[in-house]
Amino acid sequence: MQLGLFISLIVFVLDLFVPRGVSAGVMHILAVMATLTCPKRQQTLIVAAVATIFVLAADIFAPGPGETELWKIMFNQVLIVAAIWGTAFVIYLRGKAVDELEIVSKRLGKELDYASRLQLKLYPNESPRIEGIDVSGIVMPAERLCGDYYDFLEMPGSTHGFVIGDVSGHGVGQSLIMSEVRSALRSLVKTEHDLGTILGAVNRRLCEDAPDEIFVTLMIVRLDPQTMTFTYATAGHSGLLFRASGECEELRCESLALGLSPEAQYATQAQREFHVGETLLLSTDGLEERHSPASELFGRERLISEVRDSGDCSSEQLIKRLVDAAGKFAKGLKPHDDVTLVVIKRTGTAAEVSERPRKKKESGRRVRSR
């Protein structure tokens, strides 16, 4: 605003001392510039009023018109005043539109914050307590609303389900699809035992409801704590099984992501034993796709290396280690995609833990007897 008033003063001085014919064009330009310097609409009106007063006052104190006819002088003044107020009016309308846009933006921001809080309540607020199993999960949205999904489910036969999914893209639409997937899964697992059948039903529902450009990759694992066995089914997703030896196996099967074709088939994989010391890692691609300032991806190899080097830590500690490692690798760059992790560690039941010292002692005795 100060700059606008200063330019208006220059307009007054020019109009006062410079011959009319010379200053008329300059006056137009400077008067318009004075109003353009004001970012706020109220300031624009003030500067326009001051510039108008200066222009008209110059006629009172300026020398006579000389050779220039009076009607030409008045016509120039009218043009200048019209230019001032025309510009001021345009800036006023623009400022009003900007103010209204800010109001709408703030209201939308509050609604998105509220939706984000609601969505966070859809994720598990605590991990299931299973003897011999240590479970943790985390979701880190790239924006206020998230397209990633993880869940802990109670399934028939006292079994437990662990789910992770990734909706293509991230934003409001993806968060709605995530909510629909969650609702469908939670309804189906109450009555259906076969994981492939569950994924097939969810897929058909998505094909009916979701836009063509959106699909969902998903993996569901069912764990039986009585037999310490697990099975799984995937839809374009994969998991990692780390054995106690450090060997890593990718768990996947050739299947389409959900929402691509209503004819897609999904199969439950053969039951497998879950041995003490083994770890199941389910993750979305957001962690592996964290990149450094040099555009190098964190990648799966680094993820596997971090798990192998983690030692005998808890599932929660392992998640923190992976998140910290990826963040350190990115060197402060914000993630461009949602990050979700579920870690399931086989720690051993109370009976199995009590057996370990006895076996070690017997083993030690045999060594000494040799």
Is 155 part of a structural domain of the chain? Answer: yes
Which residues in 359-369 are b (16+ Cβ under 10 Å) and which e? eeeeeeeeeee
Nearest to 88 by CA among 133, 46, 147: 46
95 pLDDT band, cuts 50/70/90, is confident
73 and 193 share a domain?
no
215 and 318 share a domain?
yes
Nearest to 181 by CA among 223, 254, 237, 249: 237
Last residue of a domain, one of 71, 87, 115: 115
Mean pLDDT of 138-163: 92
316 and 219 share a domain?
yes
155 and 255 share a domain?
yes
Between these two residues, 366 and 166, which has the higher pLDDT value?
Answer: 166
62 and 138 share a domain?
no
Is 370 part of a structural domain of the chain? Answer: no
Is 366 part of a structural domain of the chain? Answer: no
Global confidence as pTM? 0.71
345 and 286 share a domain?
yes
pLDDT of residue 210: 85
pLDDT of residue 290: 94
On the 0-12 / 13-18 / 19+ scale of CB atoms within 10 A, 30 is buried
170 and 240 share a domain?
yes
Is 367 part of a structural domain of the chain? Answer: no
Is 369 part of a structural domain of the chain? Answer: no
Q: 17-64 pLDDT, tens per residue?
A: 554 444 444 445 555 555 555 556 566 666 666 666 655 555 555 555
pLDDT of residue 3: 46
Domain CATH number, residue 239: 3.60.40.10
Last residue of a domain, one of 84, 115, 146: 115
Amino acid, res. 78: V
Q: 72-87 pLDDT, tens per residue?
A: 556 566 656 666 666 6
Nearest to 57 by CA among 24, 19, 8: 8
310 and 169 share a domain?
yes
Mean pLDDT of 119-139: 92
110 and 130 share a domain?
no
* Position 301 pLDDT exceeds 90: yes
Last residue of a domain, one of 115, 146, 169: 115
What is the number of structural domains in the chain? 2
Q: Which domain holds residue 141?
A: 124-360
Which residues in 187-211 are b (16+ Cβ under 10 Å) and which e? ebbeeeeebbebbbbbbbbbbeebe
pLDDT of residue 142: 86
Which range (83-92, 124-133, 177-186, 204-213) has the least confidence? 83-92
Is 365 part of a structural domain of the chain? Answer: no
How far, in Å, CA of 305 to CA of 311, rounded?
Answer: 11
317 pLDDT band, cuts 50/70/90, is very high
Is 368 part of a structural domain of the chain? Answer: no
Q: 205-258 pLDDT, tens per residue?
A: 999 988 888 999 999 999 999 999 999 999 999 999 999 998 999 998 789 999
pLDDT of residue 110: 84
Is 73 part of a structural domain of the chain? Answer: yes
177 and 63 share a domain?
no
251 and 334 share a domain?
yes
173 pLDDT band, cuts 50/70/90, is confident
117 pLDDT band, cuts 50/70/90, is confident
| DSSP state, residue 270 | P
CA distances from 281 to 13, 51, 64, 120, 304 (A): 77, 70, 90, 21, 10
98 and 199 share a domain?
no
pLDDT of residue 26: 47
